[in-house]
């Protein structure tokens, strides 16, 4: 079955820099991929969705890429701010009514 | 006005007890889910319902019994609680279970269950 791998180590960056988070999947390429943000003590919040025929998607300071050859999606936050500190989850729709989530990567942005 | 609300937020109980978690969504969505997030923060699907009908049961012990009285509500009842049931349980909804934007999940704030 499909597995999602996200970097389990936290990512520490300085304010103003670009944060890049990685999501790798193991099997078939999904039709689309989602990214969510989760703050401590809260439920995940949807950020962006990218389809397999889209190489890149942007929303304000966020950018997602999708490379079906590498079986990888990259999530970028430009001009990062301390308020961007959170855990970011990658998710794939496995078909039917099932979505699987990666374990997430924790991002810390230092002022 | 909260889109997906679940109660209670915290639940502390003894092993062997029975407890329930309630979830309601006011988004008009057809599909609702229960997820379990363990101590390693891994979010795993337990059940999904579409229009009150059980669609997915992810090899969850039958001590866990979901119930959907209508498509806006999905409750989770847990019998004979065990230490390993301690986790955060999230309710979520989506427009439907199909692909694309229709499958974007909206989550509740979670219920932190501690079994002593």
pLDDT in tens, A3-45: 899 987 899 999 999 999 999 998 877 888 999 999 999 999 9
Q: Do B40 and A31 touch (CB under 8 A)?
A: no
Answer yes or no: are the C-beta atoms of B15 and B115 closer than 8 Å.
yes
Query: Measured between alpha carbons, how far is A104 from A89 in angstroms, rounded to an integer?
Result: 4
Does the beta carbon of A108 lie under 8 angstroms from any beta carbon of chain B? no
Question: Considering CB atoms only, which of B92, B99, B109 is closest to A93?
Answer: B99
Q: Which residue has the tokens 């936050």?
A: A77
pLDDT tens profile B57-76: 888 899 999 999 999 999 99
Could you report the per-residue pLDDT of B88-102, keeping only the tens digit for each? 999 999 998 777 777
Phi/psi zone of residue B113: left (φ > 0), alpha (ψ -120 to 50 degrees), beta?
Answer: beta
- CATH number of the structural domain spanning residue B31: 2.60.40.10
Range of the domain at B12: 4-97+106-115
Which among A34, A91, A96 has CB closest to B55? A96
**What integer best gives the mean pLDDT of chain B?**
93
Q: Which domains does chain A have, with CATH numbers?
A: 28-81 (2.60.40.10)
Closest by Cα among B116, B113, B107 to B25: B107
Other Cβ atoms within 10 Å of A18 Cβ, number: 12
Structure tokens at B59: 């090899």
Number of structural domains in chain B: 1
Q: What is the mean pLDDT of residues A37-62?
A: 94
In chain A, what percentage of residues exceed pLDDT 90?
Answer: 74
pLDDT-derived band at B1 (thresholds 50, 70, 90) equals low
DSSP, res A99 = E
């Amino acid at each position: 079955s499909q597995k999602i791998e996200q970097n389990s180590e936290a990512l520490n960056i300085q304010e103003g820099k670009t944060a890049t988070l990685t999501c790798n999947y193991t099997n078939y390429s999904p039709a689309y991929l989602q990214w969510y943000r989760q703050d401590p003590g809260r439920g995940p919040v949807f950020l962006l969705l990218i389809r397999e025929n889209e190489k890149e998607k942007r929303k304000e300071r966020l950018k997602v890429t999708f490379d079906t050859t590498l079986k990888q999606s990259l999530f970028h936050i430009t001009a990062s701010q301390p308020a961007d500190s959170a855990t970011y989850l990658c998710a794939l729709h496995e078909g039917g009514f099932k979505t699987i989530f990666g374990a997430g990567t924790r991002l810390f942005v230092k002022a | 006005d909260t889109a997906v609300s679940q109660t209670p937020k915290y639940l502390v109980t003894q092993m062997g007890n029975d407890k329930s978690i309630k979830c309601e969504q006011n988004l008009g969505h057809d599909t609702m889910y229960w997820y379990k997030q363990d101590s390693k923060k891994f979010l795993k699907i337990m059940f999904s319902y579409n229009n009150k009908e059980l669609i997915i049961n992810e090899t969850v012990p039958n001590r866990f019994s979901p119930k959907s009285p209508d498509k806006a509500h999905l409750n989770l009842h847990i019998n004979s609680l065990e230490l390993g049931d301690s986790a955060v349980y999230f309710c979520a909804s989506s427009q439907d279970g199909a692909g694309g934007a229709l499958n974007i999940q909206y989550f509740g704030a979670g219920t932190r269950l501690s079994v002593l």
